């Protein structure tokens, strides 16, 4: 069982958000030209 501190909760939410954002970016990247996708990544 994890000890749930406010900081731990924030870390979990942050990780969830980043994973969600990455998946969204990746899936949208599939539909646009690779060059444009590369520009958006950096």
pLDDT per residue as tens digits for the range 1-29: 556 667 777 777 777 777 767 766 666 65
In which band, very low, low, confident or very high, does the pLDDT at 30 lie, cut at 50, 70 and 90? low
Question: When comparing pLDDT for 31 and 6, which is higher?
Answer: 6
Burial class of residue 29, CB neighbours in 10 A (0-12, 13-18, 19+): middle
Instruction: Say yes or no to pLDDT of 32 above 60.
Output: no
Residue 2 pLDDT: 58
Higher pLDDT, 32 or 35: 35
Quick one: three-class SS letters along 1-42? CCCCCHHHHHHHHHHHHHHHHHHHHHHHHCCCCHHHHHHHHC
């Amino acid at each position: 069982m994890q000890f749930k501190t406010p900081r731990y909760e924030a870390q979990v939410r942050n990780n969830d958000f980043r994973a969600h954002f990455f998946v969204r970016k990746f899936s949208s990247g599939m539909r646009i030209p690779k060059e444009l996708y590369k520009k958006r990544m950096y």
